[in-house]
């Protein structure tokens, strides 16, 4: 498949960075020109989610069948569950010249970039500091100690992956939501630039590593 027009806006960032909210706020500004890529997953549906809108929820056997038949442009195992992006969901939007927003993990972002580098904008969303991320996740009240630890560990690995990546990432710091929406809007229009906010990212990674050492 070739994605001949349209843009793929790939948002990566830790749980608690606000990437889903940011994507939906930008889409709401231009619902005809923008859309959200609805992934398939084997994870259990949460009470606030809608099948077909947040994800296509399917079982492992079906997911493995879709992998085997080549329906996914990328798929990954995240926290023990399968997640994948179907070819069909991309084709529909991109051939119509729309911007398609993705909320996927960093492995998925690398795979999409490999296949559609010309059309893909990679955006990493970060909270203003590691401490803010930890307090946002704790304040949600939905995390157990184990899931909190796992999410923070994933966040640390993604920060490491970002800092070691040679790809053209844009960085959006989500401190004040309205400002972050403007920054993301801008980032979707800006071509490749050097990694912004490197000092902040390095500081966050050091705090994450210190937390991981303290917890082990």
Check binding of 18 to ligand 5GP (CB under 6 A): no
Residues 74-103 that bind ligand 5GP (CB under 6 A): 74, 76, 78, 83-85, 103
Helix (H) or strand (E) holding 212: helix 198-215
Which CB, 83 or 116, lies closer to ligand 5GP? 83
Which CB, 78 or 163, lies closer to ligand 5GP? 78
Which CB, 18 or 84, lies closer to ligand 5GP? 84
Check binding of 105 to ligand 5GP (CB under 6 A): yes
CB 92 within 8 A of CB 137: no
Between CA 112 and CA 7 the distance in angstroms is 12
Give residue for tokens 């996927």.
104
CB of 162 to ligand 5GP, least distance (A): 13
For the sheet with 39-41, list strands across it.
55-57, 39-41, 81-86, 72-78
CB-based closest residue to ligand 5GP: 108
Q: For the chain, how big is the Rg over CA atoms in Å?
A: 17
Check binding of 165 to ligand 5GP (CB under 6 A): no
Phi-psi sector, 199: left (phi>0), alpha (psi -120 to 50), beta: alpha
Residues whose CB falls within 8 Å of the CB of residue 125, separated by 6 or more in sequence, listed in order: 11, 12, 13, 17, 18, 19, 22, 172, 174, 180, 184
Residues whose CB falls within 8 Å of the CB of residue 213, separated by 6 or more in sequence, listed in order: none
Q: Which of 21, 25, 33, 43 binds ligand 5GP (CB under 6 A)?
A: 43
The tokens describing 89, both together, are: 């969901």
Q: Which of 107, 129, 165, 209 binds ligand 5GP (CB under 6 A)?
A: 107
Q: Say how many residues touch ligand 5GP, by CB under 6 A.
A: 14
CB of 160 to ligand 5GP, least distance (A): 15
Per CB under 6 A, residues contacting ligand 5GP are 15, 39, 43, 74, 76, 78, 83-85, 103-105, 107-108
């Amino acid at each position: 498949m070739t994605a001949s027009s349209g843009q793929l806006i790939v948002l990566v960032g830790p749980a608690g960075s606000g990437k889903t909210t940011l994507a939906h706020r930008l889409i709401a500004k231009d619902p005809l020109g923008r859309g959200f890529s609805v992934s398939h997953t084997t994870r259990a549906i949460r009470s606030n989610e809608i099948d077909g809108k947040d994800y296509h929820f399917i079982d492992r056997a079906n997911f493995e069948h879709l992998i085997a038949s080549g329906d996914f442009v990328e798929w990954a195992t995240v926290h023990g569950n399968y997640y994948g992006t179907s070819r069909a969901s991309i084709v529909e939007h991109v051939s119509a010249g729309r911007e398609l927003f993705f909320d996927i993990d960093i492995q998925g972002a690398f795979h999409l970039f490999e296949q559609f580098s010309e059309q893909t904008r990679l955006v990493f969303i970060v909270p203003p500091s590691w401490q803010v991320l930890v307090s946002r996740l704790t304040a949600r009240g939905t995390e157990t100690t184990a899931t909190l630890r796992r999410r923070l560990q994933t966040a640390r690995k993604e920060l490491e992956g970002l800092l070691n990546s040679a790809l053209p990432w844009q960085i959006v710091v989500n401190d004040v939501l309205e400002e972050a929406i403007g920054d993301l809007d801008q980032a979707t229009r800006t071509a490749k630039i050097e990694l912004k906010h490197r000092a902040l990212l390095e500081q966050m990674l050091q705090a994450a590593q210190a937390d991981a050492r303290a917890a082990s």
